[in-house]
Chains A and B, each alone.
Chain A
Amino acid sequence: MIRKEQMSIVAHERIADNIYRIVLTGGLVSEMNNPGQFVHVKIGAQAEPLLRRPISICEINQERKQFTMIYRKEGLGTSILARKMPGEMLNILGPLGNGFPLEAVEKGQTALLVGGGIGVPPLYELSKRLVEKGIHVIHVLGFQHKDVVFLENEFAKLGETYVATVDGSYGTQGFVTDVISKYALTFDVLYSCGPKPMLKALEQTFPNQNVYLSLEEKMGCGIGACLACVCRVPNSDTAYRKVCSDGPVFKAGEVIL
């Protein structure tokens, strides 16, 4: 169930260039079940910034009633968010959307998790759940350059982890698809989250395989009412899916990227 709650900041730190990790606590965590879901964050009670900010859930800790988000400080909202201190409150609406389907892969099989930039965080909780299920996980993480690489060590503890940077300042030079072909990585299911060009490249590279993509889009309400974040579906002029409430995870081919 979606709830709205004032949640308390437990920890907040910068983990890479303009990349922040924030841990929140509150009863709403008990509603968080599926890796790949997101929350809608109201930053401050004022009219500016007006809209909530959709941020993906990176890690869930039910015992401590805590969850973690990793975000990039970029505009007005995230700049104000970056100054928030532990003990301060944030208004959270969530959990929103549908996460990655864990049932798409069985024990003993291999899942390839491919993240790009700020699309990397939701794959972390996913990877933990897959490992718990006895699934072999391989991670390919793409970043712009070495100063914005994050979560590499955490992923490495769960399974094989490759990093690519666009400028070659860390790991393999190039894109995530270059890593996949360089190491000839194979999989039973591929889960991905990141910028649209990356998702498109994955969809095209693996047309007949089991691929799930998590999309990002500018959102208004986050619950499916405002129709800001729609995408088209193949072979129809009027059919659509809403990234916020039908997604953000879609099977490759379900929507037009």
Chain B
Amino acid sequence: MNRLAVELPGLSLKNPIMPASGCFGFGREYAQFYDLSQLGAIMIKATTLEPRFGNPTPRVAETPSGMLNAIGLQNPGLEKVLSEELPWLEQFAVPIIANVAGSTMEDYVQVAKEISKAPNVHALELNISCPNVKKGGIAFGTIPEVAAELTKLVKEVSEVPVYVKLSPNVTNIVEMAKAIEGAGADGLTMINTLIGMRIDLKTAEPILANRTGGLSGPAIKPIAIRMIYEVSQAVSIPIIGMGGIQSAEDVIEFFYAGASAVAVGTANFVDPFVCPNIIEALPTLLDKLGVSHISECTGRSWRKDEPSVYCGA
């Protein structure tokens, strides 16, 4: 038995570890370090209809146990992703989750329709939560009715299951999650980055050229855990959790909160080997926790129907 294997809508994962969108490009840079087939899945960089250069630099700024980024959805555009990036990824035995972004609903629908036809795209991740673009992105992710409508439109055209990436920059994330579930989403991914800012001491100007950026890294982990804990109890669709994961221990914490799989983001920048290292460390940690299959961990923090099997360290 593969105790790490997870079944989710559209996705048969050999393990529940995948690099998060925007933190792994289209995989080329990381393929020089390890065989990408080791990964449970890959969430590729957000794809828009047209190529985008993104924001001016500086685009990143470090923060206590985290970082701000304002890349601005730089990507080569749908056509190139379909003709170059996705075919290149076919050499690996790994399902692709395509992150779809846009400025208008029509953009999202068109990208979703085309990219969902690619043979190795097994699911879509609807990016309604990018904080770094002026038009679209987060605007779709902060009003439940708008998010629900977009989800519905994309579901109509997508040939694969649709996961919606939630923004933490909302007052009530449960309300948002329920609206998206009601619109027919197959799953949720959460959380995207939190909007933040840093200011340079010498110039008194924001450090990022975009002024604000998305906060990621270990600093946001407790927020992700809390939000997954709340949302997973309120919806019945699965959650792919993300937000500051660095270790196998972090992965289990996300599962306990209610995640069914996880994505690793910023940690890839610090250690290119972090994903395979976590995958390798998980079985030993499951042994230590007395867990036979990782899926047993999902929601354990609030599922009181089963006795805890924690055996101590």
Contacts and interface: CB of A to CB of B under 8 A. Distances in A.
A191 to B, nearest CB: 23
Given A2-B33, A50-B66, A230-B74, A225 B270 contact: no
A228 B57 CA distance: 7
Interface string B59-97: 111101111010100101100000000000000000000
Contacts of B270: 42, 50-52
B58 A227 contact: no
Question: Which secondary structure dominates where chain B touches chain A?
Answer: loop
B246 A51 contact: no
A57 interface: no
Given A4-B273, A218-B59, A225 B30 contact: yes
A47 B217 contact: yes
A232 B65 contact: no
Nearest to A229: B57
B218 interface: yes
A238 to B, nearest CB: 4
B74 A49 contact: no
Given A47-B65, A237-B53, A226 B74 contact: no
Nearest to A239: B53
Contacts of B271: 4, 42
A177 B218 CA distance: 45
Interface string A12-29: 000000000000000000
B190 to A, nearest CB: 21
A223 interface: yes
A50 B221 CA distance: 14
B53 A50 contact: no
Contacts of B310: none
B54 interface: yes
A93 interface: yes
A217 to B, nearest CB: 6
Interface residues of A, number: 33
Given A4-B273, A225-B268, A228-B69, A220 B32 contact: no
B61 A218 contact: yes
A221 interface: yes
B268 A218 contact: no
A218 B62 CA distance: 10
B266 interface: yes
Contacts of B57: 217-218, 228-231
Contacts of A51: 60, 62, 67, 269-270
A47 B30 contact: no
B217 A50 contact: yes
Given A50-B67, A225-B23, A225-B269, A240 B53 contact: yes
Nearest to B63: A50
B24 interface: yes
A46 to B, nearest CB: 8
A50 to B, nearest CB: 5
Given A223-B29, A228-B59, A238 B272 contact: no
B51 interface: yes
Give the contact-size bracket for chain B: 35 or more
A154 interface: no
Nearest to B19: A225
B52 interface: yes
B276 interface: no
A50 B266 CA distance: 9
A163 interface: no
B25 interface: yes
Contacts of B268: 221, 225
A157 to B, nearest CB: 37
A238 B52 contact: yes
A226 B66 contact: no
Nearest to A76: B62
A245 B28 CA distance: 12
Contact of A225 (B29, B53, B66, B69): B29
Contact of A220 (B53, B54, B269): B269
A101 interface: no
A4 B58 contact: no
A6 B29 CA distance: 21
B241 to A, nearest CB: 18
A50 B66 CA distance: 6
Contacts of B217: 47, 50
8 contacts: A48-B65, A51-B62, A51-B270, A221-B29, A226-B22, A227-B71, A228-B71, A231-B57
Given A47-B219, A228-B59, 11 more contacts: A4-B273, A49-B62, A51-B270, A223-B272, A225-B24, A225-B29, A226-B69, A227-B59, A230-B74, A231-B57, A240-B53
**Complex A-B, nearest 9 residue pairs according to Cβ-Cβ distance, in ascending order:** A221-B269, A228-B60, A225-B29, A238-B51, A47-B65, A225-B25, A47-B218, A220-B269, A228-B59
